Amino acid sequence: MGRLEYRPAGTYRLEWVYRNRHREPVQVWLALSPDLPTQKVLGLHLTPEPHERTVSPDGLGEMAWYRLAPGEAVRLDATIQTFSVRYSPRGRGPVVPLEPQERELYLRSTGMVTITPEIREEARRLTEGCGTDLEKVHRLAVHMFHHYGYCHPPRARGATAMGRDRRGDCGQFSALFAAWCRFLGIPTRVHLGTWAVGRFQGHAWTECYIEGLGWLPVDISVATVHSKLRRLLRLRHLPSYAFGHLEGQRITFSLKYDRELVPPYPETNPPLADLTMEMGEQPVAFGYQLLHRRAPYLQPAYVRLPEQVESLSRPLTVTDLLGDWRGRHEPWHLRALHAAQVFLFAMAGLAVLATLVPMTDRWLEQRGLKPPDLWMDAAFLAANGIAWFLSRGRSWLPGFLAVFFLFMVLEDLRGR
């Protein structure tokens, strides 16, 4: 079966702000990040204090509620330690058992994670012949990686839309994958959160509960973002970072779609048609309506906007719906330690490359082969540099190869 290995990855400061830019009050329901095996909330401060702060009715952590006057703002400051996760097929580790109410919650068919007859049939067909839940989850992950594409923003949201369109963003991948697994009796939860560093870097991914193992992370959307480059390089296997692995650079706001709100949300028809999109097989006006009496998702907030068009600040932006946030390394001595680690790793890599490049040229010459010329090395340098940039630095291989070919280019220039 194997085990999941958790290791401290970093400490981050998260700052989230919502400001009411409208001419009437706005209500805000805010999910507060929970403690998880992948994160520990070291400190959390809200300014001002919420009008209500309650434990979520579905047992998924705390929730804060505000009624903001025009021009008023709410701010959240949190310090969160994150942990990386790596699945190892060897040995066994401690496993926290799943409570019956948790199992029922994460097997449920909901508005966004809808288990339709088509989804049932596809999940059953794809996992035919699999012996264990771990094999089923891996089979589904490989299929999704090969047959579903990344697209942002999607035309519609929810598992049904993803199954129909076969294209979507991270939230779409997570919803359909959760629906497949839940139908097969594998408890699956969707993390709605953000990358730990950067401004407004929202992300979603899944965890599947495997008996004897625990919560196994699966994030197919990250792999499909790079799928065109991988096809060009004829790399068709599922990347290891997409299955059973988290790098420890993400923060979870909420653990599922379809959240019940407290106090109750006052639904109404929207004053603008462009706020409506398909969510879970029906039109929903974000900021005015719920999906089956629940907020479609909290990332980290769901708002109730003014009913009158003349009261709305135009144009409406995504920050009017979700707020704005920024993440960074915290505190300063940990940022300095991280920078020192990166510097030492880079120096060690440069030392290896400084030895490897001349050795590569000599090895080729000894076998009567011509070393690559300047233009070929420059092309490989550019290709790997672009690949590393598109991965936002999360994939080390193209970064390493980019530095390698940089040395090759310098060696070519020196030999001219």
Q: Distances in Å between the alpha carbon of 221 and those of 177, 224, 227? A: 11, 5, 10
**What is the C-alpha separation between 301 and 65, in angstroms, rounded?**
10
Cis preceding-peptide flag for 315 (omega within 30 of 0):
yes
DSSP string for residues in 271-288: S-GGGEEEETTEEEETTT
**What is the C-alpha separation between 8 and 385, in angstroms, rounded?**
29
What are the structural domain ranges in the chain? Answer: 3-259, 332-415
203-213 confidence digits (pLDDT tens): 999 999 999 99
Q: Specify the CATH number for 3-259; select among 3.30.1490.20, 3.40.50.1820, 3.10.20.30, 3.10.620.30.
A: 3.10.620.30
* 86, 5 Cβ separation under 8 angstroms: yes
> Along the 416 residues of the chain, how does pLDDT read in single tens digits?
789 999 999 999 999 999 999 999 999 999 999 999 999 999 999 999 999 999 876 668 899 999 999 999 999 999 999 999 999 988 887 888 999 999 999 999 999 999 999 999 999 999 999 999 999 999 999 999 989 988 888 989 999 999 999 999 999 999 999 999 999 999 999 999 999 999 999 999 999 999 999 999 999 998 886 655 545 444 456 677 789 999 999 999 999 999 999 999 999 999 988 889 999 889 999 999 999 999 999 999 999 999 998 999 888 899 999 999 999 986 555 556 555 655 565 566 556 656 666 777 677 677 665 556 665 777 777 877 777 665 555 556 777 778 887 877 777 777 65
Residue type, 180: W
What would the two tokens of residue 65 be? Answer: 């509620």
What would the two tokens of residue 219 be? Answer: 């994030």
By C-alpha distance, which of 167, 160, 164 is closest to 224?
167
Site of tokens 């009437």 = 24
72-100 confidence digits (pLDDT tens): 999 999 999 999 999 998 888 788 899 99
By C-alpha distance, which of 64, 62, 66 is closest to 255?
62
**What is the C-alpha separation between 38 and 244, in angstroms, rounded?**
13
* 1, 213 Cβ separation under 8 angstroms: yes
Torsional class of 401: left (φ above 0), alpha (ψ -120 to 50), beta (otherwise)? alpha
What angle (nearest 5°) sits at the alpha carbon of residue 123, between those of residues 167 and 187? 100
What's the whole-model pTM score? 0.79
